Structure 1
């Protein structure tokens, strides 16, 4: 699969900075050009939020972080880049001029995407020497989390360019959707504009305030849209008779005077003040960076939930996240199982905001998750990877005992280590410790038992020779170690 090897971001505002974060966390070096005097601070703050979000989003091994370099000119920024993303303010002459400069300085084979929300790519590529490689790549904020990019070609854009862009975006966890025809505002913003226009009328006519309107969205169809969109949601609403029944039942209301979509609200100073004051009352207690972090935590939670839905196969953005994680695992360096008489260092974890309770202490089930992830790390070490599982073999946890000895807190860096207790390969019996990295404090222990199974046979069987070859030296190396304190305990047993 083709991939992005180096990117350039021209414009470092909300969208350009988030594009840079998406690239950098995907292991891609980025040259950034933005003449704003505080561009480095703004992009740095966006980058910090993105790293915080990714720490919550996935335990899959991200590639080594790309390097961010601020350039002094467009010409300098695009050197060596094979994906150039333009994200300057939404003015046709400005964007066209910047894209023409990019075209004149970049490698003729480099892809050039524009983050425009609605300008026509044909208008943007008018003065280019190599217009066939230019297209709209319209993302959604925050770009580093929301995976969609609308790919829209102009009259001179080749289909091969759009197909190539879609394939490259997949390697950084994004969903490129190719829009068949060039149209102002594309698809997403046309839908948003319709809801936004109706929302402005509802506020102007005092039907509700901004908070009530947002509550209507987020407590109802917003959640449906997050996982199924519009048409699949309405298909369900049609019951067993499906979409035809839904349209027959609700189609006539489209001719009723329910909406004002053909009327444009007059954004008078009075209406602007009303909306701004209501918005301040709704959200003014939070700073913009705090709102961004709250938004990111909520998006991570939704995506993680969707990843586990549909019998573990995922749905919507969660399915895309699972596929991206599979890509990360497949491209991560393969760990080597080195036998030694010290416990195995398996995992380093940071306690992120979604893991803590109202006291900022890590919730109980996250300790178990740390040990489960530690066991997964052992399995990867001995060759039980996605291919092994896909072939019908795996280890299943059959018993565990977790002790909570101290508190992990928000921001703590944690380390999981493991000693393998007497095992035969078909059975892997282990003891794990969870410690705080900063002071070595022991926070929790877990005694754990896994059995190797064949999903095809539906029973426990010995592991394949390739796995046993890596596992047996580890079992042998730990065979002479003393039994860890706490091994063999049961719930409620007195200490000492």
Structure 2
């Protein structure tokens, strides 16, 4: 943990601050919150509930133990033990300066202080601070718990190593830090949003389109391209085989045409504000804000999962985040001792409410997931970690036989017991028995695993340290014996 962050503080727990809190907590970071809003705890609990729901849909690994959430009556109490502090108060410079002064009075030496500001430059935030070198911009995007991008902006007063620490920490909680080369009002992304927003205001004011029609133009068109390829790569593709040069040659002259009104903005009169608000109510008023958030989250989860499947863009951040969740979920298994004549106890879990069907019983898919998580725990236990995989080596499941013995209901705690039934230089045959708290067998899963060279897409002999650990387990499990159901195919009728 090169960044040294074990505890975070959040000053402000609204839409953005609450999103930060949810991301930190779900990645196992303790968070202390200060927010004077009388409904702060309720709002935070609802944001966290949506975030947990989204993570359960998005992440295949077990979520693991959440960080601890505490609320505090003063900024001083919230930040005193924090290694990383995120300010997310309203966009007023006087309020931010007051908050930074209170943070500086109590924060421990070396604490990182990031601001969620969408518009202010870090030099403006640092003005008047006793320790300006500690304050920088860390601008996220809503929902913070799902969208990876965070813009990091510093001044010459900031220590580059401190920003590197911040970037390392934010990367570890699943974000994609973007270092802005020079400070500028609104940073990078919001300048694009502002341009689209201004043009949208004109289109509404001039009676050309409604809020819904403008949103449709984005979400059914270029928004889908931007979501996975951005602006310039999209236009590079639009240039065909000749690429970007051809695109610019073909469409560059359009820049001199009076298509947009980006250098101007309509006056936000009461009439225009009412027009926009009315159209927006007609478009989305049938949903509550929480319902819209869940619809948004479900859509984002689907896009992120698709991008992950293609190892592309934000999907790469999700893939790295999942790998960290897998590593954390099974880190405790490394401490398990190998005992003669006893199966390995490497993984436990609890049946979640969204794992059950209309009968209230765990679905077939979740039985397989529990067994797969047990296999992951076993593989990490024998040494197939990230270091081993970087050598181009891995172990794949090539055959599985599941026996469903008992029903499982929401809330039940399950424990897996794993034994090694057989091995050769390229294969492992393992058996999981899943027991409930009463000690009853819920299901069993027998798996044939194949060791492969991922770069050459072929089977190959296992290597150290995997071979060493497998030999030790084989000796310890040699006397357990093989149950009568192991290796048995499905019975014929």
**Alignment TM class, shorter chain as reference:** 0.7 to 0.9
CA contact (8 A) 1:140 1:148 kept: yes
Rounded Cα–Cα distance in structure 2 between residues aligned with 1:200 and 1:359: 50
Match of 2:478 among 476, 479, 483: 476
**Distance across 2 between alignment mates of 1:282 and 1:420:** 57
2:461 paired residue number: 461
1:324 is aligned to 2:325: no
Whether 1:175 and 2:176 are equivalent positions in the alignment is: yes
The DSSP-based 3-state class of the residue aligned with 1:429 is: strand
What CA distance in whole angstroms lies between the structure 2 residues aligned with 1:189 and 1:8? 25
Cα deviation for residue 174 of structure 1 reads 1.6
Partner residue of 2:378? Answer: 378
Map of 2:429 onto structure 1? 429
CA contact (8 A) 1:100 1:125 kept: no
How far has the Cα of 1:295 moved from its partner? 1.8
Take 1:260 and 1:196, find their aligned partners in 2: how far apart are those partners?
A: 11
Instruction: Describe the superposition over 1:16-50 as per-residue Cα deviations: whole angstroms up to 9, x where unpaired.
Output: 12212222223222221111112122112222222
Summarize the Cα distance change of 1:463–1:132 in structure 2 as closer, same or farther, 3 Å threshold.
closer
Contact 1:412/1:436, CA 8 A, preserved across alignment: no
Q: Is the contact made by 1:306 and 1:318 (CA closer than 8 Å) also made in structure 2?
A: yes
Helix, strand or coil: the match of 2:423? coil
1:308: Cα distance to partner?
A: 1.9
Tell me how far apart the structure 2 counterparts of residues 278 and 290 of structure 1 sit (CA, whole Å): 19
Task: State the secondary structure of the residue aligned to 1:423.
Answer: strand
- The whole-number CA distance in structure 1 between the counterparts of 2:29 and 2:455 is 40
Q: What residue in structure 2 maps to residue 68 of structure 1?
A: 69
CA distance in 1, matches of 2:249, 2:182: 29
2:394 aligns to what SS in structure 1?
A: strand
Give yes or no for contact 1:96–1:123 (8 Å, CA) kept in 2.
no
Provide, for residues 68-104 of structure 1, a one-character-per-residue CA deviation record: whole Å limited to 9, x for no partner. 2222212222212222211111111111221122223
Task: Tell me how far apart the structure 2 counterparts of residues 98 and 385 of structure 1 sit (CA, whole Å).
Answer: 43
The correspondence of residues 1-40 of structure 1 with structure 2, limited to 5 A, is 1-40=2-41
Shift of 1:474: 6.2
- The structural deviation recorded for 1:192 is 0.5
Q: 1: CA distance between counterparts of 2:78 and 2:325?
A: 28
Query: CA shift at 1:360, angstroms?
Result: 10
Could you say what secondary structure the match of 1:280 adopts?
helix
1:155 deviation in Å?
5.7
CA contact (8 A) 1:416 1:432 kept: no
> Is the contact made by 2:333 and 2:346 (CA closer than 8 Å) also made in structure 1?
no
TM superposition score normalised by structure 2:
0.86
Closer, same or farther: CA 130–420 of 1 in aligned 2, 3 Å: closer
Q: Which runs of 5+ in 2 are unaligned?
A: none
Matches within 5 A, 1:75-224: 75-154=76-155, 156-224=157-225
**Is residue 2:280 matched to residue 1:283?**
no
- The verdict on how the C-alpha distance between 1:80 and 1:351 changes in structure 2, with shifts beyond 3 A counting, is closer
Whole-angstrom distance in 2 between the partners of 1:341 and 1:295: 48
> SS in structure 1 opposite 2:395?
strand
Q: Is the 8 A contact 1:136 1:150 kept in 2?
A: yes
Displacement of 1:364 in angstroms is 6.6
Determine the structure 1 residue equivalent to 2:262.
261
- Distance in structure 2 (CA, Å) of the matches to 1:223 and 1:86: 31
Q: Partner of 2:244: helix, strand, or coil?
A: helix
TM normalised by structure 1 equals: 0.85
Tell me which residue corresponds to 2:451.
Answer: 452
Deviation at 1:130, TM superposition (A): 0.8
Moved more, 190-199 or 204-213: 204-213
Residues of 1 paired with 2:18 and 2:208: CA distance? 37
Counterpart of 2:241 in 1: which secondary structure? helix
Structure 1 residue matching 2:483: 3-state secondary structure: coil
Q: 1:398 to 1:155 in 2, by over 3 A?
A: closer
1:293 aligns to what SS in structure 2? helix
Residue equivalent to 2:233:
232
Moved more, 360-369 or 246-255: 360-369
CA 1:126/1:51 → structure 2, altered by over 3 Å: closer, same or farther?
A: same
What is aligned with 1:398?
398
Distance, in Å, in 2 between the alignment partners of 1:188 and 1:132 is 24
Question: For residues 12 and 63 of structure 1, what CA distance do their matches in structure 2 show?
Answer: 23
Distance 1:370 1:77, change over 3 A: closer
Q: Hey, what's the Cα distance between the residues in 2 that align with 1:209 and 1:412?
A: 47
Q: In 2, are the aligned partners of 1:383 and 1:470 still within 8 Å (CA)?
A: no
Contact persistence 1:370–1:416 (CA under 8 A):
no
Please tell me whether the aligned partners of residues 374 and 416 of structure 1 are also in contact (alpha carbons under 8 angstroms).
Answer: no
Q: Which residue of 2 aligns with 1:50?
A: 51
- Secondary structure at 1:219's aligned position in 2? helix
- Asked whether the equivalents of residues 84 and 111 of structure 1 are also in contact (C-alpha less than 8 Å), the reply is yes
The question of whether the paired residues in 1 share the 8 Å contact of 2:420 and 2:474 is answered with: no
**Distance in structure 2 (CA, Å) of the matches to 1:360 and 1:368:** 17
**Structure-1 separation of matches of 2:182 and 2:421:** 64
Cα separation, 2, equivalents of 1:2 and 1:405: 46
Residues 400/272 of structure 1: CA separation in 2 closer, same or farther (3 Å cut): same
Give RMSD over aligned pairs: 3.4
Q: Give the 3 Å change call, closer, same or farther, for CA 477–381 of structure 1 in structure 2.
A: farther
Alignment partners' CA distance in 1, 2:361 and 2:155: 53
CA positional deviation for 1:144: 1.5
